[in-house]
Structure 1
Amino acid sequence: MDRYARWNALLELLAESGRVTVEDAADRLDVSQATIRRDFDQLAQQQMITRTRGGAVANGVSYDLPLRYKSAKHSAEKQRIGEAAANLVVPGTVVGLNGGTTMTEVARALAVRPDLNTSGEGAQLTVVTNALNIANELLVRSRMKIVVAGGVVRPQSFELVGPLGGALLKEVTLDIVLLGVDALDVDLGAAAHHEGEAAMNSLMVARAKRVVVIADSSKLGGHAFARICPIGQVETLVTDSGAPSSVIQSFRDAGVHVVCA
């Protein structure tokens, strides 16, 4: 396990329990206690955790970890989901994309589809996004038309939030929005941890003809702080095969078309 994978695992442990000792972390990650102490010291220097005698405690923002620490989690599932979501996009349309690790995989899958990158009449794809990393992925890998909503950058997700971006989104129409979420529940709908991101995502939903939620199975049935939209506005859910059949059926009963990658 490399350093960044180890840091990701430590942050996940702290997010779950709030506190962890050096001894427990070393046992669970199968590394030396000296390695864990160095990891804790380095994470504390970055203000990701607070060091305590013999261990560490989570900071208040640990529920919303920076994107670089989330990338290793459920990576195989996210790649499959990204490919399945990209297959829903039709050449020549306008697509909305928000940010997140799963949406990065969606962007990569879109970029390698030859039919979305041709220069023929009506073939070029237009992507509207409020995430800087998504725009960069597509810019360096494809010949699509990229439109970036303005706003203030959130370092955790590289997403732009606030009224500057909202003004642009109110003036465009999206054929389809592919929306990464922090939680999706039949009763509570789609939600995000940060209210600014939720507001931007909600505007994308309002401007889209079709709403497709992209979420791995760990996000299903959960809840997050700020609602994006009710389940009734979601046409399709793209998730992985690890989702329990009962959960999948509950979404289908609610009228959502479910694609399991």
Structure 2
Amino acid sequence: MTSPVAFHAVDIPLPDGTADAYFAHPDDGGAHPGLLCYPDALGLRPWLREMVETIAAHGFAVLAPNFFYRSGHAPVVPLPDFREPDAMGTFFAAVAPARAELTPDKAMQDAHGYLAWLSANDLVAPGALATTGYCMGGRLALRTAATFGDQVAAAASFHGGFLAAEDRPDSPHHTAGDITAELFIAHADHDSSMPPEDITRLEQALDTAAVRYASVVYPDAEHGFTMRDTPAYSEDAYARHLHDLLALLNRAFAPE
């Protein structure tokens, strides 16, 4: 059963400036479990608003920040029609400076502010929070779980890239031993940023650290399968992602 949702465009004060963000929650005046939702690198846009509202309708207070706020208000780069040839490559070349500014340390500095904003909000239930993310946001979600320990009860990554890249300092497998949250990690079976050997490396790191997790590969899915405004979108994979995410959150926030 879903609930009517209230949506707000909000500003989050942070040490390096102000991050614009989406915030959605059930429109019932109550306090609900908080979820920090990291977008993909395409950032805040109409489809992300729809995703945030969909999750919120199931009983969660969801904050999705513009993690490129140092480069401006979202969208920091105008979004093209991704059906056009070379549109994706052109976009990522344009957004590269904003991505470079978001270093691993800066990302976790921001995460502290996002989590604090949620924890201080009267519409968010007291206690631990959860986080989820898409593409590069999936990597940020797992790093947030490792950095903030017991403050994060659950973390999910959907088509996250470079989750077990040994040459990347922000690769989550390096900090698996710091994770106390339950994890859900969904990979696409057609994703060059997470080949099978990297999935195995990630799972080995999580096993060694005795992390509670599920790591699954969605069949017939491409990197970006949740994003309806890109050619990678898969209706079946999106629906499965929503089911799996809500199951994780409901476990994390089940009454004791």
TM-score range, shorter chain: 0.3 to 0.5
TM-score normalized by the length of structure 1: 0.35
